[in-house]
Structure 1
Amino acid sequence: MDDFGKSLKNFSSQLEKAQSELSKMDGTHSYNLNEIFSPSFMTSHTHYNSFESFLRDCGITNQSEFDAYPDSQLDKKVNENTAFSSYEDMLNTAFKDYLSKRTGINFN
């Protein structure tokens, strides 16, 4: 098989993997924020080594505290301690990275 044939076969394998992962994510799902905000994402884009340590710094220790935490305070904390201007920006970027890692497709 020549180089083009090998490249085509590799590309086909990547597409199959992406299709398989995307079909697993089809529909409504709950995602673990510690998985979305992976340690590598957090150390690359924030002053924290984990999403949990970021939340602790906000005084958040459980889901109900996270749900009740004012959006404006969360945005301020994100703006002061990360490369992002808001929590929504940070979440969108983290989710794109998560999808890229799962599917092999660059969503950025």
Structure 2
Amino acid sequence: MSLKVDTDGLDELARNAHELSKQKEVSIYELMNNQFVSHHSKFGSLDELLAAAGIHNQQQFEEYPDEKLDKFIAENTDLSNWTSMQEDAMTSWLSKSLGF
């Protein structure tokens, strides 16, 4: 008696993982796309969210105090701080990239 296993899903997962391994950088806008931001906040985009925090350019973002950003994220999203927002965005992006 033999057992036949359908590996199509595993093959697709392997292809997706291989393609993902070629990508070295992912922009924050790709991670925190409009769908992600609007799902976790009242804002429609990352730019809108950051603007509401008073961040309008890269320099302001780099100089913005971590504690202040953490507080803003906790008060204006369903996430606890900036780090958890980044982690959740990465998890979501990886899941989509792998085909889940």
**Interval of TM-score (by shorter of Structure 1 and Structure 2):** 0.7 to 0.9
Give the Cα–Cα distance (whole angstroms) in 2 for the partners of residues 99 and 82 of structure 1.
21
Q: Higher relative CO (CA 8 A, sep ≥ 6), structure 1 or 2?
A: 2
Give, in angstroms, the shift of residue 43 of structure 1.
1.1
What is the 5 A alignment of 1:43-82? 43-82=38-77
CA distance in 1, matches of 2:85, 2:60: 19
Structure 2 residues without counterparts, runs of 5 or longer: none
Distance in 2 separating the partners of 1:20 and 1:49: 32
Per-residue CA distance 1:48-71 (angstroms, 9 max, x = gap): 111110011111111111000000
Give TM-score, length-normalised by structure 1.
0.80
CA RMSD across the alignment? 1.6
Structure 1, unmatched stretches of 5+, are none
Is the Cα–Cα contact under 8 Å of residues 46 and 83 in structure 1 kept in the other structure? yes
- C-alpha distance in structure 2 between counterparts of 1:13 and 1:64, whole Å: 44
Runs of 4+ in 1 over 3 A off after TM superposition: none
Q: In the alignment, what sits opposite 1:83?
A: 78
Superposition TM-score, scaled by structure 2 size = 0.85
1:15 to 13, 16, 20: 13
**Counterpart amino acid of 2:87?**
N
Identity level (%) = 32
Contact 1:79 1:86 in 2 (8 A): yes
